[in-house]
Amino acid sequence: MSKQRRGKALWSLPARGRGTCPVCGRTGVKLLYDLVCADGAKKQVCKQCQNKKK
């Protein structure tokens, strides 16, 4: 059987959770991960940039 609610939470986010990653500059990717910058600010980044140090 298929899983009907998979990804359902993304529909309530603006632009379905997609946008431009501020670290790598990719467009149209899901921004679901928090990255804490050196100044303490949090940014939403893509999956490939979630472990990068900034």
How far is it, in rounded angstroms, from Cα 41 to Cα 54?
11
Q: Cβ contacts of residue 3 below 8 Å, gap of 6+?
A: none
**Would 13 be classed as within a structural domain?**
no
**Would 45 be classed as within a structural domain?**
yes
How far is it, in rounded angstroms, from Cα 24 to Cα 6?
27
**Would 27 be classed as within a structural domain?**
yes
**Would 3 be classed as within a structural domain?**
no
- The number of folded domains in the chain is 1
Which domain, by its residues, includes 27? 18-54
**Would 50 be classed as within a structural domain?**
yes
**Would 35 be classed as within a structural domain?**
yes
* One pLDDT digit (tens) per residue for the chain, 54 residues: 788 888 898 999 899 999 999 999 999 999 999 999 888 899 999 999 999 876
**Would 6 be classed as within a structural domain?**
no
Q: pTM of the full predicted structure?
A: 0.77
How far is it, in rounded angstroms, from Cα 4 to Cα 22?
31
**DSSP E strands, the chain:** 18-19, 29-30, 33-36, 42-45
**Would 42 be classed as within a structural domain?**
yes
